Amino acid sequence: MQEFIKSPLNYEGNKFKLLPQLLPLFPQNIDTFVDLFGGSFTVGMNIKADKIIYNEFDTRIYDLVKLLSTCDYESMQTLIMEIIDYYKLGKNTKEEYMKLRDNYNNTKETLLLFVLSAFSFNYQIRFNSK
């Protein structure tokens, strides 16, 4: 059985559970694959192609996927832990979470969005008009 890479983003419309049904429908030899509605990049990171083009309308998600796909894992892990420690995030730390959310809303710093989603309800990225 083929193992699939799961995106670290829990984003609406994620196709992870559908991969066993979707991937057999693609051709064997793909020169260029366009992940047209890229979202969490679940399909794109599991497809075999010479070139993969990621497309996402929401620039916040695009920037987050780009950051996570090009970063050094150990450096990123250190930065994430520093953010968690700085805000004292954990279970039942609503006030601290709200401070992080306010900071993200003010700075739009991409890595803060990732940490924010990791401590959010249902580990889900959601945006509203504010």
Q: What is the pLDDT of residue 123?
A: 63
Q: What is the pLDDT of residue 27?
A: 94
Low-confidence ranges of the chain (pLDDT < 70): 1, 122-127, 129-130
Q: Report the C-alpha gap between 63 and 127 in whole angstroms.
A: 15
Q: What is the pLDDT of residues 115-129, one digit of tens each?
A: 999 998 766 666 676
Residue 32 sits at φ, ψ, to 5 deg, of -125, 125
Q: What is the pLDDT of residue 86?
A: 97
CA distances from 89 to 20, 92, 102 (A): 36, 8, 14
